[in-house]
Structure 1
Amino acid sequence: MPSPVKFGTSGWRGVIAEDFTFANVRLALTAIAEHVKAESAEPTILVAYDTRFYSEEFSQLAVDILEHHGVRALLCETFTPTPAVAYEIMRRKLDGAVNFTASHNPAQYHGLKFSSADAGPALPEITKDIEARASQIASQGGVPPLPHSAAKANPSEKVNLRQNYLTRLEKLVRFETLKKANLKFAVDALHGCGSGYLDRTLGDHGVAVAAIRTGRDCLFDGTGPDVSEENLAPLKKVVVDSKATAGLATDGDADRFGIVDRDGTWIQPNLILALVYDYLAETRQWKMPAARSVATTQMIDAVAKSHGQGVHQTPVGFKYIGQLIREDKIALGGEESAGLTIRGHIPEKDGILACLLVAEMIAARGAPLGEQIRATYKKLGREFWPVRENLHLSDEQKANAVCRVGVDSSTLLGRKVVSVDRTDGAKFVFEDGSWMLLRLSGTEPLLRLYVEAESAAASAKLTSEATKWVLQS
């Protein structure tokens, strides 16, 4: 019987009460308990959760099941950001963490991320083992609810991760640079876990902050806790109205960042990754490569080249970048979907750290982001205009598109193809340095189209032509 528990790019996600049910959570947790017991005789697992509907109840169930199977469980006493969970695994040398979050997905979703002892998202061999165990348990009739006595035998061991994590950030961010610059930032927690972290640490270091959407709202204003341009309209308004230096946002579990310039312009995560890498190479003297996913801007490659460095290209999924961080092979790792981490930090996305580094960079360079982007384009001798489109296709259209990109061709869309990369999906690089990538989403039922060219007009033209090509039967 196929397992109802399926791990995608970043954990298992499902619609609450449809796929994400107590029965399926019992199944997932029993499989995880079996997996960690096979790895260690006396494992300790951290259980964390975000601000979504029923997070506390799912987390308590996880603790009860883990302890029922002889696994020591530490329960976060409140909503906790994913990066703080990753740091705590490293700090305490835990055997892993179960984190109830659907990250940036819409409000009707919940999810479960499993992190292994190395503090990064579990690699495919681990999630496949958990899925196989869940499938076997499901075929035997699933997991009945625990007897009431088992669930309530002992009060949970509670932990609060905030202070240790914020202390760690003080070693990574130059807060004195920020304080001296006397700037003001608008912070948007999007009703997620970043509340009380990003706004608080800026305030604690003497930086003026105007914070919005810091309270819990399980419906996330009816949209979702995604750091998209559309969702950050309230932040843009606050930035402009309060004359803030910039707007800084974190998504539902605070592993992704969103940035708004002082004039209210939303800045693409792709461009932020390239700017921060350039800034770290200059200020930290890290003469090291960067890593980016196959779908992320090649502006990072150009910045790396300007510093005499190369780039590691990975499939989509931060777990692959996490491995390079653990091996101390890169200064920065990033994904176009607004994930970033840096050398010496966690092998996981950190939206809080990303926002703080952007704030520090603005303070140190004394220039708004738009100006910094134009200066970097000038230094690199070309511009980069990345685009991402989500194509909602029928299964037949998706199958046709997969067939079309499966064919190697020397020309495509009237352009000469210089290389085809099948790291994840199909990426076609053209003679003029522009490129397009088609891949099926690992978190949503979509075909994603990524395009990059050296002007807004060229990117728009390539996007339009690529979309038409995909939709041809």
Structure 2
Amino acid sequence: MNIKFGTDGWRAKIAEGYTFENLEKVSLALAITLEEENPSNKTCVIGYDTRFFSEEFAMHVAEVLSSVGFDVIISDNFIPTPTLAFSVKDIGCAVGIMITASHNPYNYNGFKIKQSFGGSASEEFTSKVEFNLEKIKNYNFSKEKKKIRVRNLFENYKNSLLKFVDTNAIKEANIRVAVDCMNGAGSGYLTKLLSELNVEVFPVRNEKDPYFKGSRPEPIPQLLGPLSYTVFSNSLNLGTALDGDGDRVASCDTLGTVFTSQQTYALLLHHLIENRKLRGKVLKNFAVSVLIDKLSKLYSIDCEILPVGFKYICSKMISEANVLMGGEESGGFGFRGHIPDRDGFLSSLYLIESVVMTKKSLMEQLDEIYDKVGFFEYDRYDLKLETSVDEVKKKIKDLIENPKKKINDKTVYKISTIDGIKYILEDESWLLIRPSGTEPVVRIYAEGKSIHEAKALIKFGKKLFQ
């Protein structure tokens, strides 16, 4: 099998590409890479999610790495990915490995690498792991398994999280919140944490289920009906949802309105700046709302645009100390002072704190943002094509070389090619078309002054490929 790392790790279907044999290969290639990079640190920590055989897969990786001389710590239970990322830095490990396929369907699993700084492995690092797959045939190891330590990793992570919010204010607010963990790795953890803060929690899909109740654990509006119903029918203050491994978040207003990830990003950034009076540089990937640019301009803070993939945001958070927040279109947000990685738990705490501090619903806060910077609606469509990845890339290249000058009777005043091609129109609406990179899929994103305009832009983007 051709093992390739995507935007965040290697993923494949269980029993097809994702096998114990291939896991051993990846683990050995990682071991070689670590020895080349930093032979003095041979400590690693391993976590896993709620998917089929995740615990067994994680233990197999632990056994392989311990057999080649690594000091291995493994979680005593399934955990969210941000817990694993935090533990890498907290313990001082050379690397962390998370066995998860994030938001993919139940029949997938994956292998995420977190480097010593507590964030997603760089493209340079994962490229070395891929290259070292060729070396494992000649790699001698004893297969004498050393001691593997089992440890609770969540407690230290939880204590660190609580330093970022006003716990006393939350405890005194008598707030009522729905929590949807989508049967993933956040199940049980977030409800317990909030209950300890005197929050009345209404759990939704809050138990381990490898089938994810027949859905997929992706916190997007069309999959969050149970959360919306729970919030609305019980007149709760808000709701939050996590993806399959707990590093991404979605939010829901008291009337059951589930916000897009773009709106959630705006709410979080506005809370940090307006309510917590924090300042610093803002990072966003290429597919994130213009709302973030406009909020940054309103508050006179820098906003930098990066390619899609949180690893690019992670790199900036490490190299630039003044970064306040970084976010991506899929609902992953990272914050200064914490790990340089996505964290759905801290995002949820900040959303709850915003309601407590302002005594306003999320919708009321969003309306305030619209009053300040204008109204925008976002949409996305993944177009699957019966062609090769190379053909998709060729078409994107053709669009870049022969750019459109008008889209739906609006003038294109700027084109950006940071990741795919983005048409920015005269009224600040935009259309982004970018290839998946690992499959013949074109991702089409758009934002307009109404949902009708956004969908019209998506339609235009689809026509370019059909």
TM-score (norm 2): 0.94
| 1:323 corresponding residue in structure 2 | 315
Structure 1 residue 4 displacement after superposition: 2.3
Query: Mind listing any 5+ residue stretches in structure 1 that lack a counterpart?
Result: none
Cα deviation per residue 1:196-249 (whole Å; 9 max; x = unaligned)?
321111100111111122221111111211112222111112112222111111
Q: CA separation in 2, counterparts of 1:261 and 1:467?
A: 32
**RMSD over aligned Cα atoms:** 1.9
Structure 1 residue 295 displacement after superposition: 0.6
Contact 1:27–1:143 under 8 Å retained in 2: no
| 2:436 corresponding residue in structure 1 | 441
Identify which of 397, 418, 423 aligns with 2:418. 423
Q: CA separation in 2, counterparts of 1:214 and 1:295?
A: 30
Q: Does 2:263 align with 1:267?
A: no
Q: Does 2:376 align with 1:378?
A: no
Go from structure 1 to structure 2 and tell me whether the alpha carbon gap of 1:443 and 1:366 turns closer, same or farther (over 3 Å shift): farther
One-letter amino acid of the counterpart of residue 260, structure 1: C
One-letter amino acid of the counterpart of residue 357, structure 1: Y
Contact 1:451–1:459 under 8 Å retained in 2: yes
Cα deviation per residue 1:156-206 (whole Å; 9 max; x = unaligned)?
201111110110111112222222322100111111111232111110011
Structure 1 residue 87 displacement after superposition: 1.0
Q: Does 2:166 align with 1:174?
A: yes
Contact 1:49–1:55 under 8 Å retained in 2: yes
Q: CA separation in 1, counterparts of 2:108 and 2:406?
A: 38
| 1:99 corresponding residue in structure 2 | 98
Contact 2:429–2:449 under 8 Å retained in 1: yes
Query: Mind listing any 5+ residue stretches in structure 2 that lack a counterpart?
Result: none
Cα deviation per residue 1:101-148 (whole Å; 9 max; x = unaligned)?
0011110100000111111111011000000111343xx4x999x99x
Go from structure 1 to structure 2 and tell me whether the alpha carbon gap of 1:165 and 1:443 turns closer, same or farther (over 3 Å shift): farther
One-letter amino acid of the counterpart of residue 68, structure 1: S
Alignment of 1:347-426 (within 5 A): 347-380=340-373, 382-395=374-387, 398=392, 401-409=395-403, 411-413=405-407, 414-426=409-421
| 1:463 corresponding residue in structure 2 | 458
Contact 2:424–2:430 under 8 Å retained in 1: yes
For the residue of structure 2 that corresponds to 1:341, the secondary structure is strand
Contact 1:37–1:71 under 8 Å retained in 2: no
| 1:121 corresponding residue in structure 2 | 120
Q: CA separation in 1, counterparts of 2:440 and 2:18?
A: 16
For the residue of structure 2 that corresponds to 1:267, the secondary structure is coil
Identify which of 33, 36, 41 aligns with 2:31. 33
For the residue of structure 2 that corresponds to 1:209, the secondary structure is strand
Contact 1:14–1:20 under 8 Å retained in 2: yes
Contact 1:6–1:12 under 8 Å retained in 2: yes
Identify which of 216, 231, 239 aligns with 1:239. 231
Contact 1:26–1:143 under 8 Å retained in 2: no
Alignment of 1:25-424 (within 5 A): 25-38=23-36, 39-137=38-136, 140=137, 150=143, 153-326=145-318, 327-380=320-373, 382-395=374-387, 398=392, 401-409=395-403, 411-413=405-407, 414-424=409-419
Q: CA separation in 1, counterparts of 2:289 and 2:308?
A: 13
Contact 2:178–2:240 under 8 Å retained in 1: yes
Q: CA separation in 2, counterparts of 1:120 and 1:127?
A: 13
One-letter amino acid of the counterpart of residue 411, structure 1: K
Number of paired residues?
Answer: 461
Q: CA separation in 1, counterparts of 2:92 and 2:465?
A: 47
Q: CA separation in 1, counterparts of 2:398 and 2:379?
A: 21
| 2:19 corresponding residue in structure 1 | 21
Go from structure 1 to structure 2 and tell me whether the alpha carbon gap of 1:284 and 1:372 turns closer, same or farther (over 3 Å shift): closer
Go from structure 1 to structure 2 and tell me whether the alpha carbon gap of 1:102 and 1:445 turns closer, same or farther (over 3 Å shift): farther
More divergent stretch after superposition (3-12 vs 107-116): 3-12
| 1:451 corresponding residue in structure 2 | 446
